[in-house]
Amino acid sequence: MPISGLVVTFASSVEEHISAIESITNIPEIDLGQACGSKLAIVVDSETKTRDQEIWNAVRDLPGVIDLAVAMVAFDEDTEEEPSTRN
């Protein structure tokens, strides 16, 4: 159940990407934070690692998003990973 503070960077000022912001707003696990220039702070609080990955991918693939970086992540009890698919 990861909680992450992310920084979304748009190709231009945040205000110019209304449809992308709407798409982000429509993801219930996301809280919008501060925006400044082309950067927008968000927090993702998801139930599963799969959902966390889906959200990450969805935000990264939005039109106008040129970078998605991490400021903080807490994964706490969710650290037990599955074995790899090796061999």
What is the number of alpha carbons within 13 Å of residue 73 lying toward its C-beta? 15
State which of residues 23, 39, 58, 62 lies at the interface with another protein (CB under 8 A): 39
Query: Cα(43)–Cα(31) distance, rounded to whole angstroms?
Result: 5
Report residue 26 as tokens.
Answer: 């429509």
Residue 68 CB, nearest approach to another protein (Å) = 8
Query: Cα(87)–Cα(85) distance, rounded to whole angstroms?
Result: 6
Residue 59 CB, nearest approach to another protein (Å) = 12
Residues in binding contact with another protein, number by CB under 8 A: 50
Query: Is residue 58 within the footprint of another protein (CB under 8 A)?
Result: no
Quickly tell me which residue has 């220039």 as its tokens. Answer: 37
Query: Is residue 18 within the footprint of another protein (CB under 8 A)?
Result: no
Tally of CB atoms within 10 A around 77:
6
Binding site for another protein (CB under 8 A): 1, 3-7, 9-12, 31, 33-43, 45, 49-50, 52-53, 56-57, 66-77, 79-87
